[in-house]
Amino acid sequence: MRKQRVDVILHILTDKVEPDFRRSELRVSLNFEQPTYSKIELQHRKVAQGLDSAEAEEMIAYDENSDDLVVQSFSTEDMWYTVGVRSFGDLEDTEDGAIVSCDCPAFNSSYSTCKHMFLVSRISHYSIRRFSTASIPVPILAPSLPLAPQDLQAVLAEKTACIDRILDEGAAFNSLMGRLKDTDLSATSRQDLTDLESAVVRIRRDLSSIISHRLIHSSQHS
pLDDT at residue 145 in the model: 59
Residues 6+ apart with CB under 8 A from 123: 56, 57, 60
Radius of gyration of the chain, Cα coordinates, nearest whole angstrom? 23
Mean pLDDT value of segment 46-69: 88
d(CA 174, CA 26): 40
pLDDT digits (tens, 9 = 90+) for 18-33: 777 677 766 666 666 6
**Among residues 28, 39, 53, which one has the least CA distance to residue 128?**
28
Mean pLDDT value of segment 67-80: 90
pLDDT at residue 116 in the model: 95
Q: Which one of 43-52, 59-68, 107-116, 181-190 scores highest in mean pLDDT?
A: 43-52
Residue 51's identity, in one-letter code, is L
Distances, alpha carbon 117 to alpha carbons 59, 68, 87, 173, in Å: 12, 11, 16, 45
pLDDT digits (tens, 9 = 90+) for 79-126: 999 998 887 544 343 445 788 889 999 898 888 899 999 999 998 878
d(CA 102, CA 108): 7
Domain map of the chain by residue range? 35-128, 149-211
Is the four-CA dihedral 122, 123, 127, 132 of positive or negative sign?
A: negative
Please check the confidence at residue 220 and state whether its pLDDT lies above 50: no
